[in-house]
Amino acid sequence: MMRLSRFYFVAIFCFLCCSALADEFLVSLGTGSQPGSNQHNDQFAVDYTFYSHDRSERSRISLGVGYTKLRSDTASNDEIDIISIYPQLTLTPVKLLSRNWYFFVRALGPSYISSNALGDRKQDNHFTFQAQAGFGYSKSLDQNTDLLIQVSWKHFSNANLFKDNDGIDVPLNLAIGLRF
């Protein structure tokens, strides 16, 4: 019951932030085999970008927060909740005809994990970093709103700052959202 309450709290919080202040709001599902392990990981995530700065016509730097629920197919340590703050660099192609496509990378996003283990993957403490890389497509819905579709790889680890640092990966993530 506590897990369900926590999920609803995070979902309502993200919805309220999105409706009041949103720059970008994404919901994603992910899945895939954990490299270096026999486990399979699945995720549900909500990301909200609260600040963006266009450095040029082709590059944008953003800051955001995210919630990720990770599940594994293992018998024990089968789920964790993660809250992250992330910087993101978004790059668009030079050619005008392909401006709807973009590449993005999130790196060194400090994160809190609710448990130090997911399946056989161990972290030394509750502090970790989020890294994510992928590509997306943006389609204008009206003058102020864009539909976003993204495909990415997501990774959590403590960057070897602590002894136990088995990375946790979700190799395939599909996100859909809006930019306001």
Q: Please state the rounded mean pLDDT for residues 125-129.
A: 94
Residue 150 contacts residue 174 (beta carbons within 8 Å): yes
Residue 10: its pLDDT value, please? Answer: 59
Other beta carbons less than 10 A from residue 93's beta carbon: 13
At 86-125, the pLDDT tens digits run: 999 999 987 766 779 999 999 999 999 999 999 999 999 9
Residue 62 contacts residue 88 (beta carbons within 8 Å): yes
Q: Please state the rounded mean pLDDT for residues 124-153.
A: 96
Q: Which amino acid is at 153?
A: W
Phi and psi at residue 65, to the nearest 5°:
-125, 150
The pLDDT confidence band at residue 20, using thresholds 50, 70 and 90, is: very low
Q: What kind and span of H or E run contains 72? A: strand 59-72
Label residues 123-139 b or e (16+ Cβ within 10 Å = b). Answer: beeeebbbbbebebebe
Q: Say whether pLDDT at 48 is over 60.
A: yes
Structure tokens at 126: 């509750």
* CATH number of 47's domain: 2.40.160.20
Residue 37: its pLDDT value, please? Answer: 94
For a pLDDT cut of 90, what percent of the chain falls above it?
Answer: 74
Residue 135 contacts residue 146 (beta carbons within 8 Å): no
Q: Please state the rounded mean pLDDT for residues 48-62.
A: 92
The pLDDT confidence band at residue 46, using thresholds 50, 70 and 90, is: very high
Q: Please state the rounded mean pLDDT for residues 154-166.
A: 91
Residue 151, Cβ density class (10 Å: 0-12 exposed, 13-18 middle, ≥19 buried): middle
CB proximity list for 176: less than 8 A, separation 6 or greater: 26, 27, 28, 147, 148, 149, 150
Host domain of residue 130: 2-179
Residue 142: its pLDDT value, please? Answer: 94
Q: What kind and span of H or E run contains 180? A: none
**How many domains in the chain?**
1
Residue 166 contacts residue 122 (beta carbons within 8 Å): yes
Residue 48 contacts residue 65 (beta carbons within 8 Å): yes
pTM: 0.86
Structure tokens at 31: 């899945």
Residue 158 or residue 152, greater confidence: 152
